[in-house]
Amino acid sequence: MRESRPIDASVFAEARSRGLDSVIARIVAGRITSDTPLDAVLDPQLQHIAPPSLLTDIDRAADRLQYAVVQEERIGVLTDYDADGLTSHAVITESLLRFGVSMQKVTHWIGHRLEDGYGISETLVDRLLESTPLPQLLISADCGSSDESQIARLKASGIDVIVTDHHQVSVHGPPPSAYAVVNPNRVDCNYPDKAIAGCMVSWLVMSHVRKGLIDQQSIATDTPKLGDLLDYVALGTVADCVSLGSSETNRAVVKAGLLLIRKQQRPCWQVAVSQLTKVSRDINAELLAFQLAPRLNARGRIGHSLRGYEYLVAQSLAEATNAFLDLDADNKTRRTIEKEMIEKAKPLAHRQHLHGGLVLCVVLENGHPGVQGIVASRLVETEGRPSIVLTPGNEPTMLTGSMRSVPGVDAKALLDAVNARLPGALSRYGGHTGACGLTVSRDALAGFSRQLQEIYRMTYPDTGPKPRFLIDGELLPEQLSVAWIEQMEALGPFGRGFDQPIFVGVFQVIAARPVGQEKTHLSLSLLVEGRQVRAIWFSALEPHQPAPVSSGDWIECIYSLSINTFRGQEVSLTVRHGELKQEGKIHA
pLDDT at position 271: 96
* In contact, 473 and 560? CB cutoff 8 Å: no
Strand ranges (E), 42-168: 75-79, 106-110, 137-141, 160-164
Q: Residue 40: what residue type?
A: A
Q: Give burial (CB, 10 Å; 0-12/13-18/19+) of 315.
A: exposed
Q: Which CATH class is domain 52-328?
A: alpha beta
* In contact, 485 and 478? CB cutoff 8 Å: no
The fold adopted by the segment(s) 470-582 is OB fold (Dihydrolipoamide Acetyltransferase, E2P) (2.40.50)
* In contact, 167 and 185? CB cutoff 8 Å: yes
pLDDT at position 303: 64
DSSP 165-211: --SPPPTT-S-TTSSEEE-TTSTT---S-TT--HHHHHHHHHHHHHH
Beta bridge partners of 535: 524, 573
The CA-based diameter of the chain, rounded to the nearest angstrom, is 83
pLDDT at position 302: 63
pLDDT at position 583: 83
pLDDT at position 346: 95
pTM (predicted TM-score): 0.88
Helix pair angle (293-302, 83-98), 10° resolution = 100
pLDDT at position 281: 79
Return per-residue pLDDT of the chain as tens, 588 residues.
788 999 999 999 999 999 999 999 999 999 999 999 999 999 999 999 999 999 999 999 999 999 999 999 999 999 988 899 999 999 999 999 999 999 999 999 998 777 777 789 999 999 999 999 999 999 999 999 989 999 999 999 999 999 999 988 887 899 999 999 999 999 999 999 999 999 999 999 999 999 999 999 999 999 999 999 999 999 999 998 788 988 999 999 999 999 999 999 999 999 999 999 877 778 899 899 889 988 998 877 766 778 999 999 999 999 999 999 999 999 898 889 999 999 999 999 999 999 999 999 999 999 988 889 889 999 998 899 999 999 998 788 999 999 999 888 999 999 999 999 999 889 888 877 888 989 999 999 999 999 999 999 999 988 778 777 899 999 999 999 999 999 999 999 998 889 999 999 999 999 999 988 888 899 999 999 989 999 999 988 877 778 888 899 999 999 999 988 766 678 999 999 999 888 877 654
Residue 565's SS3 state is coil
The fold adopted by the segment(s) 356-459 is Diaminopimelate Epimerase; Chain A, domain 1 (3.10.310)
- Domains of the chain: which residue ranges? 52-328, 356-459, 470-582
Q: Residue 309: what residue type?
A: Y
pLDDT at position 567: 63
